[in-house]
Amino acid sequence: MNYNEIAEKIIELKNADLEFREKLIESGKLGEGYNKEMAKIHNKNAKTLNEIINKIGYPTLDKVGKDANEAAWLIIQHSIGQPKFMKKSAEMLKKAVQENKADPISLAYLADRISVFEDKPQLYGTQFDWDINGEMNPNQVDDIEKVNQRRKNLGFNSIKEQIEIMQERVRKENQIPPKDFEKRKKESYKWRKSVGWIK
């Protein structure tokens, strides 16, 4: 399999993921926990991408081009049931960023996502979730001033501006906050423990 075929395959995986997400949005089911069918797609995509990475290394811009590089990142970002794969990919992505072969913004999102799943504060405030008041807000961050500075260094908007964008997005997608916040929190903890994010 040459790099062009690999690039096409990665984009194909991403499209399957996003098409299913679109169906969940249309049926108003996106916010209702982690959909089983979606979890299957995410795990299958992670497995295939992991096989690709084992063959060619991280799918960097110079190997697979911009579209497939971004698609690979999205697959990794969605591989939430595979902590080992996500962390391994983050290490490889970090190296690729240092070599100017991947986007530092992708790394910021991925590092934040891993932090959230491990109950650690985010450095960039890219990951959002429903809070106890039924508002879409960033997950825990380490220090708001430092977060805003790091965001600025990467060319992001301020956390305040991002909150407005995210709250508008959930309104547009007709997402509704969980009926029982505490129950959802417990379920999330149980799930993260079961897949190995927390011991």
- DSSP of 45-92: HHHHHHHHHHHHSS--HHHHHHHHHHHHHHHHHT-TT-HHHHHHHHHH
pLDDT digits (tens, 9 = 90+) for 161-199: 999 999 999 998 888 888 899 998 999 999 999 999 998
pLDDT digits (tens, 9 = 90+) for 130-167: 999 999 999 999 999 999 999 999 999 999 999 999 99
pLDDT digits (tens, 9 = 90+) for 23-80: 888 887 766 678 889 999 999 999 999 999 999 999 999 999 999 999 999 999 999 9
| pTM: predicted TM-score of the whole model, two decimal places | 0.91
pLDDT of residue 32: 65
Q: Are 61 and 94 in contact (CB under 8 A)?
A: no
Provide mean pLDDT across the span 82-103: 95
Structure-token match 């809070």, residue found? 131
Count other Cβ atoms within 10 Å, centred on residue 156. Answer: 18
Answer whether residue 18 shows pLDDT above 70: yes
Q: How far is CA 7 from CA 59, 67, 98, 164, 183, in A?
A: 8, 8, 22, 35, 41
Instruction: State how far the Cα of 30 lies from the Cα of 176, in Å rounded to an integer.
Output: 9
pLDDT of residue 31: 63
* Dihedral angle sign, alpha carbons of residues 54, 111, 30, 198: positive
Provide mean pLDDT across the span 113-123: 97
Residue span of the structural domain in which 125 resides: 3-195
Question: How many distinct structural domains can be found in the chain?
Answer: 1
pLDDT digits (tens, 9 = 90+) for 96-117: 999 999 999 999 999 999 999 9
Angle at 116 between CA 155 and CA 173, to 5 degrees: 70
13 burial via Cβ count (<10 Å: 0-12, 13-18, 19+):
buried
Dihedral through CA 150, CA 112, CA 21, CA 62, nearest 10?
Answer: 70
Residues in the chain: 199
- 3-class secondary structure for 31-46? CCCCCHHHHHHHHHHH
pLDDT of residue 29: 72
